[in-house]
Every structure is written in structure tokens, then in C-alpha cells.
Amino acid sequence: MPKITLQLDTKYLIPLAIVIAGAIIALAIIFSGGVSLPSKSGNQPSSQKEEAKAEITVTKENHVQGNFESPVTIVEFSDFQCPFCQSFHPTLQKILAEFPNQVRWVYRHFPLDQIHPQARPAAEASECAAEQGKFWEFADGLFENQSRLGESFYKELASQLGLNSNQFESCISSRKYKDKVESDYQEGIKIGVRGTPGSFINGEPVPGGAVPYNTLKAAVERVLSQ
């Protein structure tokens, strides 16, 4: 066999082997669920692309900041021990400051017990503070001092906010609001919350969790322009 034939075989067999190996790896990834295949149009089918709008009832008994009659409602399912929730908290405060009459912010509890052991006790303590009209101030204090979460800090914070100490301590020791916190959590599960912060704008889920301010602002503005 001429020598040049062997050189041509080597030249083309090596790239061919690389292409075949790449194809095998790509197929393995696809069938293992690591990559989503687009539809023929290049987009996901509408049934996968669009999630159902969540039905979330808001009443004046809920934790609401902003004008209650606002056209835009942001419902946040949050965890006081979650670092992403901590970083998202000022974002929502800024949104409310920029759209004071157009946005209302509704807080729901979603404690991730397996990784945040203080999330549920902190949520229950915040309800005890709400009983005395200081939910939002207490929530701010929890996020500002996230590394200190624990019963002694809850009592300290309650004292700083001027709450009735006996009433507050009796409330947290009896776990008076455990059912309320659990009810929020179950509501979140029902409408598809799987992590925190899990937010909805007028029932539409906000993808990405703790999204940047500009992203959330753009979402609010889109709703206002409709």
C-alpha cells in the first residue's frame, strides 16, 4: 500500500474519532437530562415556558407594606436565616421607596428547616412581634443581625423595639403562631415555591430568586405598562 494512503488515513481517522466521541458524550448528556432540547421553533412549548398564574389571596390581616390598593402586588416567600433573602430584603425596600403608591409588598414565611434551624423560630418570633404592631421592624432587625439569630437575640430585639417583654416571651415559648407559619409554608409549596426567596408579581413567579434591583424594577414596570 502506498505510503501516502497511510498518511491520509491517519489524517482523517483522528478527527473522525474525535467527532464520534463528541457525539457520544453529547447524547449521554441529553439522555441523562443534563440538557433540554428546544422545540422546532427554537423555543420551549408554551406549556413548559409559561407557568400557571398563582392564586394568592391578600388581606389586611397579612404583612403588607405600601399602598394596600396598589396595582402591583409582590408576594415574597422568605426565610429569615437565608442569606439570599437577606440580600434581597433591601432590594424590595428600594422598590417600595421608588413605587410607594404603585407597589405593595406582602411577606410570607417559608422556613427551610433542613438547612436553616433558626428560620422557623425566627418566623414565629416575628409573628409575636406583629402581635404588638412591629412585624416589619422586627423583620428588618432579623435580617440586619442574621448571624445572631436565636431566642436570646429575639428577646433583645423585642426589648429594643419597646415590646411588652412578658407578652412577647410568653408568645414565643408557647409557639403561639406555629400554625400560622406552617400555613404560609404549605401555601408556598402548593403554588410551586421550592426555595427562597420565592417571589410573585401579581401572581406571576419571578425567576432567579434574589434578582438584582434593575431586574425587579423592570418586571414591575412591565406590569404597570400593561
Q: Are 87 and 117 in contact (CB under 8 A)?
A: no
Residues 45 and 69 in one domain: no
Asked if residue 21 is part of any domain, the answer here is yes
Residues 25 and 87 in one domain: no
The count of domains in the chain is 2
* Cis bond upstream, residue 83 (ω within 30): no
Q: Are 91 and 84 in contact (CB under 8 A)?
A: no
96-137 residue pLDDT tens: 999 999 999 999 999 999 999 999 999 999 999 999 999 999
Note every long-range contact of 39-44, with CB atoms under 8 Å and residues 24 or more positions apart, other chains counting: none
The model's pTM is 0.77
Residues 191 and 128 in one domain: yes
CATH code of the domain covering residue 104: 3.40.30.10
Side chain identity at residue 197, one-letter code? P
> Cell for 133?
404592631
Residues 82-87: what's their mean pLDDT? 98
Half-sphere exposure of 209 (CA within 13 A, CB side): 12
Report DSSP state, residue 184.
H
Q: pLDDT band at 53, cuts 50/70/90?
A: confident
How many Å apart are CA 114 and CA 79, to the nearest integer?
12
Q: Which residue range is the domain that position 43 belongs to?
A: 1-50
